[in-house]
Structure 1
Amino acid sequence: MKHSAILSLSLFFQLCLPVAASGDVTADSIPEVQTLGEVIVNAQRKYVKSTSRGIKITMAGNPLSEIGSAVDAIKQMPLIDDASGEISVIGKGNPIIYINGRRMQNRDELSMLTSQELASVEIITNPPARYGSEVTAVILIRTKDRLAGMFGGVQANVSASEAMSENLAVNGGWTLESGITVFADVKADESRFKQKRFYNEQLSAGDIEYFSDTYAHVKNRTRSFVLDGGMSYEHGNNSFGLKYTFSRQPSGRFFSDADTRTDMLIPENISSETQLSSRDYRHYINLYGDFELPYKLHLRIDGDYVNGSSVSTSITNETEAERMIANRNRTYSRIAAGKVELTKTISGLEVSAGADFTNTVSKQRFMSETNHDDGGVLHPATDDVRQNLFSVFASVDYNVTSKWKIYGGVRYEAVDINYDRNHVHNPELSRNYRNLLPNIGVTFMDAVTASLYYRQNIYRPSYTTLDRNYSYVTPTLWEAGNPELRAVLIHDLGLNISYRKFIFQASASRALHKIGLIYHHNATIASNVCTFANLPAYNYLQFVAVQSLDVKFWHPTLQGILYLQDLKYGEPQRSYTTPLYRLSLRNRFDLPYKIQAYLSFNLFGSGNVEVQYCRPTWQAALTLSKSIDNWTFTLAANDIFNSWRQKYITDTDDVCFTKNVKGASSYISFSVRYRFKTTPKSYKGKTVRADEIERL
């Protein structure tokens, strides 16, 4: 059931993006004692340092380096939120992550690293132009110097909730004294979950109110694996390399057993069963070159080639109505991209300039059928989208004095889109965009660090949201794509202030063409329809505060965010202006025998995000970690009080839709990691346009 996946992820992402959370780190220091003759000097070692674009955490001597897992270490750092299960930057959403200059392609690359391997972690909340037009946050990870010889590791994890899930990852390689490194990784995963879901639809048709209540039990089982390998060569400041990654989901099965009670249809009570199967694959080739040129110029070249395909088939049978609905979607996608960048540093001035080009092809095939009248919406169709994207960018960082720094940059993007519907060129959907995206700022660094900046970001809709196929959700609700979606443009004015262990961030933003999930009634098919639409221009404010403390063996961090917007939308027009807040308390405890314990509490407040209204909920999580030589053992319990609920209300046009989801959040997991030689591979390839790959 395509709707369930997209709706759950979309609403959860929208909740987590503007609201924030966690991060428990000894933000500044631990005592150090140095003996000078008969004089004892107590000093404070700072591990967290403010930068002009965020913060940088040094790991040498940092207690976080003893956690065992690099993922767990980063989750405890300031400005990091992991309430969704993934690493997110508070108030900025999901970051792109670089490991030794190479963009991370899947989360297992990070999970295979131990905390002892980390040299530093930099969290950037105002990225420069080189990172792309959609990027709002970046995490730069540097590991310790590599050693020659064989390296590798194994990681195994098992989790138990309503269903069991397991995964196994193995990596290894060899670094020669000559600078050549060869490496390979493989990961297999089998994940399962069960949930209870409730959908309520209220339809206002003049003076008459209609309703539809659906109670569903769902379960899912997915198998996937990833295989990659490559080589790199380093000589002095010059290096190049090649990497190939193959990922495949050979089996994905989703089953829903639902009962619906409604006064919109006859019969009024309908039981239904939905079975969804899916499979996909992707090939990814990345190559890079990093060279030092005369006159101290630095040249960087990157290239990507991606192609893949996915197939999904869903069959729904309604017992009482004797209705059958079948959908089959097949997607093929391809990306070819290249990027070149030159950098020059003179004293306190760093200048970089470059260009990138991306050619994208997305082909989607839909086949739908039913044994009942469908109002003419279920029929075979094809959507072919071809896009050329060309960008040039430049940025400047200048240290005016030891305390003042100014920086700026600009990115110009030219996008040409050709849209074919049923193999016929569609001029209305074939568009050309030209965007000039500036990024400027000034930073004062002393006892207090303060930065003021202005930036623009652009977000393009994913290709799956551009399809126009109808998918079944409930007997009275369908989901459809919207090929008329426009790109989103955000103007952002931000202020960052930090003092010792306190961080404050504020931003005022204006959103143009923001994409929101809406509901309306379609009289032709006598059902409600869920789709995406560009919202009217509106403003929003965000305030983020982080305070870390150290009280002997207890290291708490309190984080909070307040989000306000002035959005008005729909017919009849409604206001979506209820403030949304979120609080988190992270606690790290230094236990005997070097056991690390983490106890976190996350409170999600009520309020509006776009046109959704989020109801309050909370959860608590506990993690115990112990490292022994090259072994790391982690025991984690998530949502330990089984209190987490996904509760959303969307009231747009003539339809009010309520969704409540319970399950797949409370679990216990046990992980074992082993690393020998603890030497990360040195491959430094970067993705040219990560935002374009993610749109697939």
Structure 2
Amino acid sequence: MKTVLTFVIAIICVLQDFAQTSDPLDTAQFSSQEEALIGTLLSLMEDKNENTLCRNIIGKVVDENNSPLDFVNVVLLKADSTYIAGTVTDENGGFLFEKPQGNPKFIRLSSIAYSTKTMDIPATGNLGVIQLNPESVMLGEVVVKSNRPVTAIKGDALVTNVAGSQLEHAGTANDVLTQVPMVLGRDGNFEVFGKGSPAIYINGREVQDLAQLSQLNSADIKNVEVITNPGAKYDASVKSVIRIRTKRPHGDGFSGTFRAQGVMQKYFRTVDQANFKFRTGGLELFGNFGYIGGKFQSSNRVDMLTQSTTVWNQLLTQDGSMRTNEFFGKAGFSYMFNDSHSIGAYYSNGFTKQRSEHTGISRVLADGQPYDNLSMYGRSNNNTLPKHHANLYYNGEIGKFGIDFNMDYMWRKNRNPMFNNETSDTQNNSLINSLGVSRSRMLAEKLVLSYPFGKGGIEFGEEYTSSRFSSEYNTDATLIGNADSRVDENNIAGFVEIGQTFGQFNLGVGLRYEHVRFEYLENGQKKEDQSKIYNNLFPSLSLSTMIRNVQLSMSYTHKTQRPSYADLDGTVDYINRFTLEGGNPFLKPEKMHSVELMGAWRQFFGQITYTYKKDPIMNTTYPYADDAEVKLITMANFPKIQNLQAFVGAQFKVGVWQPKINVGIMKQWLTIDYADGRKSLNNPIGLMQFQNAIHLPYDIWLNVDMQWMSGGNDDNMKQSSSSYLNAKLYKAFFNNQFSVTLEANDIFNKSNRDATLLNKDVTIHKFNTTNNRTFMLTLQYTFNSSRDRYRGQGAGTNEMNRF
């Protein structure tokens, strides 16, 4: 009997595979008697503990509004509730177990903010559409409903859901990111708490121009992922990643967005843009145009203490302004042959013209006694023209192989004439003219291949970047003279990442190899002692699991941080007769080791990271040439620095009020040479955020956000505390086609952070007195809104950031 049953089941399996290819057995093609027979045979096999079960187990999970739920944990259980296998739902809410072994009897589904659900597995294996209900938490007499967006863990990423939440009404991607946990800043100037500036992706394509964030409507965003310890797939100098995913595309025809923003911050400025798109079938043509213009104010006070044979103390008060005019344009196309093949390209260009002026008064003390009074006037013109950038990509699948190829080219020229006039009460006057011209060029390509492997997959690929940065500096200052330098760098990298599931654990292992050839030239001559070749391996490891309703993830990465080209530039700039500033072509890359632990439970999440840096790059000062009275501010490698950071957050919903609370702390261990001894810079920096979204009548959204950051040490700086209070009103009309946003940022003008730069010979106290109180009115009109189909990820973006 056993042999006969096995034979019959084998025949059913063959017929199922033949009939479905990739789909599960469709019981509609059988009569009720045949379906009952199949179920009986399967039950008999389970009773005899056979492992020849051939059915796939599939289903789709939705929320109370029938919207797909991704990242839901799905677990197969035996009759005695023993764990067999687990997975998570995809972006469409679907899950699939291919012919699982072990005779699963039950399936259990769980997700943060939703009630856990356990179900019997039907004989067919098809569970259909499964709805999860929101879970409420009772606090005294107040019911707090856990509502999306909820920050959950997906592998090594913190995921904030935007679709179906109040963040849909935020305005643009810029406004969404200000509300994402661990992300600080605004208007494209973002950083991840304790990790610096991130690489930002939209639908897998790396953002080359941060103005794209203001072009993306918040209503089109599905979720945002923040990766604070990125693996081998990313450049070894990338310390954090933000990935934005938008909703599925829809509709053909002509569409566009017009956006006008007026900003008042002592002076007026405007940001205007127009984005157009035409789609028919698989073809999409697009063009983006924009203008930024207006005037910016800057005011500061600097106290500079210089230790040499004489103790010089310079007390400088400076006021300045900058007028900018920037135009940019971008045009391109993409073509989707089908869901498996897509090509595209774009070209962008533009120019920036900036004119700056500043006036200042400097009082100079020598050994505490009055020495001189200086009146200063300076102006400069910073012109970047042109700004060529082009991208070409192919994205597709051949069989089970996924292919992603990108090529980027960038070329820029910057011209910066400067004029400085110093009038002295007791010394000779100083009149300095200088002209700096820099050129940057980059060619990069990247190929990523993916393939299903075991109970997971493998990604591997290569990346090549060739870049050049040249700088010419001419001045009539006899103290420093002219300079001509060039940096050539070629980086060849290969990487592999493997992800596998072992029971309740998901394991990821990655390895990246980079070969870097760095050449430094002065006046056309290669400097052998400053030119280097690096060969490095960068491993990464991640492990994630779920214990009951607690998501856990642990990761390790080895990274590097190469100095920017400005830091490597040996050109010396004139600041004043006592102080010069320049780069250091002898800089070595930083090496970093990071270990991170993340956890999430219901509407709470937390993260803790330890980082060890070898050869960190920080500001320092040296005597200039043989003149001990004149100091050069430059960059240098320090021996080491250790950092520990922690971040916890929670979010709730109480009626029309949706509050979020975040708390973070950063602490470093660093000791430097200072004055005649050693100084420890170990004071921690704390962060508190209280963000509130309130749904007012007439579908108006009010946001009130508060932040406080304590004083403490960051590298060899001592920073003061700062805070802000922002308020925003948002109202959409005509089915979200037209929106009006009114904002007041830093209402009490407390966001400036004063900083003290601590070096062996020079201590610089900088007090930022710029008025940061800002009022903004934004009008946006969108017609036939649709998601960008362009799938290019870009290559060499981190290299472009170094320029």
**Distance between the aligned counterparts of 2:173 and 2:306, measured in 1?**
49
Out of 454, 457, 466, the residue aligned to residue 350 of structure 1 is: 457
For 1:29-178, list aligned pairs within 5 A: 46-48=148-150, 49-82=152-185, 86-146=189-249, 147-177=251-281
Q: Is the 8 A contact 2:148 2:164 kept in 1?
A: no
Structure 1 residue 624 and structure 2 residue 726: aligned? Answer: no
Q: Match for residue 558 of structure 1?
A: 661
Measured against aligned partners, the alpha-carbon deviations of 1:160-214 in whole angstroms (never above 9, x if no partner) come to 111111111001021111x0111110111014221221111123346x6331101
Classify the secondary structure of the residue corresponding to 1:131: coil
- Select 1:495's aligned residue among 593, 597, 612: 597
The two structures have a TM-score, normalised by structure 2, of 0.78
Q: Distance in 2 between matches of 1:184 and 1:525?
A: 56
1:273 alignment partner in structure 2: 377
Match of 2:642 in 1: 539
Any idea what the Cα deviations from partners look like across 1:451-470, whole Å, max 9, x if unmatched?
Answer: 11110111111111111222
Q: Return the alpha-carbon distance in structure 2 between the equivalents of residues 237 and 398 of structure 1.
A: 24
- Which residue type is aligned with residue 655 of structure 1? V
The structure whose RCO (Cα within 8 Å, separation 6+) is larger is: 1
- Aligned match of 1:439: 540
The corresponding residue for 1:226 is 328
Query: In the TM superposition, what are the counterparts of 1:464-475 in structure 2 within 5 Å?
Result: 464-475=566-577
Name the aligned partner's letter for residue 368 of structure 1.
T
Paired AA for residue 280 in structure 2: L
Change (3 A) 1:257 1:46: closer
Give how far 1:596 is off. Answer: 1.2
Tell me the residue number matched to 2:408: 304
Q: What CA deviation, in whole Å up to 9, does each residue of 1:659-678 have, x standing for no partner? A: 00111421101111111111
Q: State which drifts further: 105-114 or 496-505.
A: 105-114
Deviation readout 1:507-560 (Å, 9 max, x if unpaired): 111111111122344461732322111111121111111122222222222222
Shift of the 120–315 alpha-carbon distance from structure 1 to 2, 3 Å rule, reads same
CA distance in 2, matches of 1:452, 1:50: 11
Deviation per CA, 1:226-248, whole angstroms, max 9, x where unpaired? 11111111122110111111131
- How far is 1:87 from its partner? 3.3
1:316, 1:68 → 2: CA distance? 43
Counterpart for residue 492 of structure 2: 390
Gap runs ≥5 in structure 1 = 1-26, 32-40
The Cα of 1:358 is off from its aligned counterpart by 1.0
Task: Report the Cα offset of residue 425 of structure 1.
Answer: 1.3
Matched residue, 1:285: 390
SS of 1:111 mapped into structure 2: helix
**Who is 1:512 aligned against?**
614
Tell me which residue corresponds to 1:684: 791
Q: Which residue of 2 aligns with 1:412?
A: 513
Confirm or deny that 1:381 pairs with 2:479: no
Q: What is the CA distance between 1:252 and its match in structure 2?
A: 0.6
Query: CA, structure 1 residues 406+336, in 2 after alignment: closer, same or farther (shift >3 Å)?
Result: same
Partner of 2:563: 461
- The code of the aligned residue for 1:539 comes to Q
Deviations 1:400-450 (A, max 9, x none): 23x311111011000011211111110011100111111101111241111
Greater Cα shift, 265-274 or 107-116: 265-274
Letter in 1 for 2:668: Q
Q: Distance in 2 between matches of 1:42 and 1:622?
A: 30
Per-residue deviation, residues 618-652 of structure 1 (Å, max 9, x unmatched)? 22111111111301211111110122323111221
Q: Does 1:261 align with 2:366?
A: no
Which residue of the other structure, out of 752, 757, 762, is the alignment partner of 1:645? 752
Give deviations 1:596-633, integer Å, cap 9, x for gaps.
11111221211111100001122211111111130121
Asked if the contact 2:174/2:187 (under 8 Å) is kept, the reply is no
Partners of 2:678 and 2:258 in 1: CA distance:
56
The number of residue pairs the alignment matches comes to 652
The amino acid that maps onto 2:269 is: S
Maintained 8 Å contact 2:689/2:706: yes
Give the SS at the match of 1:319.
Answer: strand
Larger Rg, first or second structure (1 or 2): 2
TM superposition score normalised by structure 1: 0.90
**How many angstroms does 1:100 deviate by?**
1.9
Q: What is the distance in 1 between the residues matched to 2:134 and 2:525?
A: 76
Please report how far the alpha carbon of residue 477 of structure 1 lies from its aligned counterpart in structure 2 after TM superposition: 2.3
Residues 322-361 of structure 1: matches in 2 within 5 Å?
A: 322-346=429-453, 348-361=455-468
Mean CA deviation greater in 65-74 or 639-648: 65-74
Instruction: Give the alignment partner of residue 182 of structure 1, picking from 285, 288, 300.
Output: 285
Q: Which residue pairs with 2:313 in the alignment? A: 211
Shift of 1:47: 4.0
- Displacement of 1:266: 9.2
Task: State the percentage of identical aligned residues.
Answer: 24
Find the aligned partners of 1:195 and 1:331 in 2 and give their Cα distance. Answer: 25
Q: Provide the rounded CA distance (Å) in 1 between the counterparts of 2:475 and 2:271.
A: 35
Query: Partners of 2:444 and 2:527 in 1: how far apart?
Result: 25
AA of the residue aligned to 1:332: R
Contact 2:113-2:603 at 8 Å conserved across structures = no
Q: 2-side partners of 1:466 and 1:654: how far apart?
A: 22
SS in 2 for 1:134: coil
Q: Secondary structure at the match of 1:417?
A: strand
CA distance in 1, matches of 2:113, 2:162: 11
1:370-401 residue CA offsets vs partner (Å, 9 max, x unmatched)? 3xx52xxx212211111111000000111223
Flag the 1:276–1:28 CA change in 2: closer, same or farther, 3 A: farther
Distance 2:134 2:601 in 1: 21
Cα distance in 2 between the residues matched to 1:478 and 1:350: 54
The aligned counterpart of 1:315 is: 419
Runs ≥4 in structure 1, deviation > 6 angstroms?
none
Matched with 2:87 is none
One-letter amino acid of the structure 1 residue matched with residue 267 of structure 2: A
1:237 corresponding residue in structure 2: 340
Shift of 1:350: 1.2
* Distance in 2 between residues matched to 1:654 and 1:545, nearest whole Å: 39
**CA-CA distance at 1:653 after TM superposition:** 0.8
Question: What is residue 450 of structure 1 aligned with on the other side?
Answer: 552
Note if 1:601 corresponds to 2:702: no
Three-state SS of the structure 2 residue aligned to 1:130 is: coil
2:504 is aligned with 1:399: no
RMSD over equivalenced CA pairs, Å: 2.2
Asked if the contact 1:517–1:530 (Cα under 8 Å) also holds between the matched residues in 2, the reply is yes
C-alpha displacement of 1:125: 2.3
Aligned 8 A contact 2:153 2:599 in 1 = no
Q: Distance in 2 between matches of 1:119 and 1:54?
A: 15
Residues 1:610 and 2:715 aligned together? yes
Residues 1:216 and 1:346: Cα distance change in structure 2 (over 3 Å): same
Q: Which amino acid aligns with 1:636?
A: E
Residues 1:584 and 2:689 aligned together: yes
SS of equivalent to 1:573: strand
1:4-34 CA distance string (max 9 Å, x none):
xxxxxxxxxxxxxxxxxxxxxxx97699xxx
Report the counterpart of residue 763 of structure 2 in structure 1. Answer: 656
- Counterpart CA distance in 2 for 1:69 and 1:140 is 15
3-state secondary structure, aligned to 2:754: strand
